Amino acid sequence: MAVRGCFSAVGAAPWLWRRAAYAARLPGHCPGKGYAVGPAQVRTAQSPPTFGFLLDIDGVLVRGHRVIPAALDAFRRLLNAQGQLRVPVVFVTNAGNILQDGKAQELSAQLGFKVEPDQVILSHSPMKLFSQHHGKRMLVSGQGPLVENARALGFENVVTVDELRTAFPVLDMVDLQRRPKSTPLPRNDFPAIEGVLLLGEPVRWETSLQLIMDALLSNGNPGTGLATAPYPHLPVLASNMDLLWMAEAKMPRFGHGIFLLCLETIYRKVTGRELRYEGLMGKPSILTYQYAEALIRQQAERRGWAAPIQKLYAIGDNPMSDVYGANLFHQYLQLAKCDGAKELRTGDLWKQRHSAAQSCVSILVCTGVYSPQAPGSTGPAQGGEEPPFHGHRDFSFSPGLMAASHIVNDVNEAVQLVFHKEGWAL
């Protein structure tokens, strides 16, 4: 069953996230309530942790290739004398144009301790659960090690946009310098495309947009033409919905969410219908947070920490992806606890034990996308005005879910806040 039929915060199963969004507005359900810092007894260093961290990367730990100094201070607190983590930590990023192993190596060099690949969740990591599509011939869009990433996720038969363009050179006509000088012979030996993978922002947007549309409108046979575009169209799986992200520049940069917005707008304008997704991965999807919680639990088990990890602290710089996602997952956990809401109903997509997590606390830092003084920031607006909604089309706009439980200057302050709340020595 597609994630469209589940609690993935997309299309056909909106009741959970709409209910969570509604709960966020109710008295006593505000994510910012119930997390006040009070006196806490400091636990011994040997006490097993009952909490874990979900850490964003860009804008929290690094800005482009530059490590944020507060991140190094934070990990001096998170590591013990043997250089091991004192609590379970998973890095949850919406980046996807890199291999999981490569991201772990990059973080290890930047932070000064060994980060294991299974501590890193890229935006497309939950696509491993979509086994019903793994055997299909999928058109993949993005950049970097596209084929390697797709195969690592389980997709066995992929074709890149560049390969499709090579097979059908007359499809790509925007760049005059790349247009074919003569008309090639038509091909009828190219296997049909059976789905589309959108792993991250591509380099040549006009080429990717055109060829993805060709695949969707031709039912996977872009060398031919159809009188009427098929609907429903081929299955589309997408990851990383971030509209903006923070690098070295003073202002945020376009993210994959902008590319998705372009594709959705073009498809609707051309066909008069909405582009539909089989699944949307990455923050703020509930599926991504359940995947992260499972890795937190596995990490704790490997370290021999017997106590269940009951509380998650999600630290990020983007109110729409990091705060919204953490608050949405927190509301999901509260609904599950209060009235027996079931685990993510993904059928064969998701098989796990009942979650031990009881809460997910959102902490917003000011070192990335969000800045209290920055024009266009997606955080709380001045004068009581609602901030602009930078989320994906398939997510309900709920200002309550964009309100962080805590706002601090940087990740080091966030770690200190959590340790104080949990009664851990700084």
In which element (H, E) is residue 385 found? none
At residue 282, does pLDDT exceed 60?
Answer: yes
- Mean pLDDT in residue range 321-332: 95
Task: Report residue 127's pLDDT band, with 50, 70 and 90 as the boundaries.
Answer: very high
At residue 101, does pLDDT exceed 50?
Answer: yes
| Tokens 């909405």 found at | 274
At residue 385, does pLDDT exceed 60?
Answer: yes
Q: Which pLDDT score, from 0 to 100, does residue 159 have?
A: 98
CA distance 23 to 247: 34
Cis amide leading into 232 (omega within 30): yes
Per the prediction, the chain carries an average pLDDT of 85
Range with the poorest average pLDDT among 49-63, 249-263, 330-344, 392-406: 330-344
Q: Which pLDDT score, from 0 to 100, does residue 339 have?
A: 62
The gap from C-alpha 363 to its chain's centroid, in whole angstroms, comes to 17
Q: Please name every residue paired with 254 in a beta bridge, in sequence order, or none if there are none.
A: 244
CA distance 275 to 277: 7
- Mean pLDDT in residue range 306-328: 95
CA distance 356 to 343: 11
**Dihedral (Cα; 160, 162, 164, 168), 10-degree rounding:** 180
Structure tokens at 418: 């959590």
Task: Report residue 221's pLDDT band, with 50, 70 and 90 as the boundaries.
Answer: very high
Task: Report residue 328's pLDDT band, with 50, 70 and 90 as the boundaries.
Answer: very high
Find, among 147, 159, 214, 162, the residue nearest to 190 by Cα: 159
CA distance 387 to 280: 23
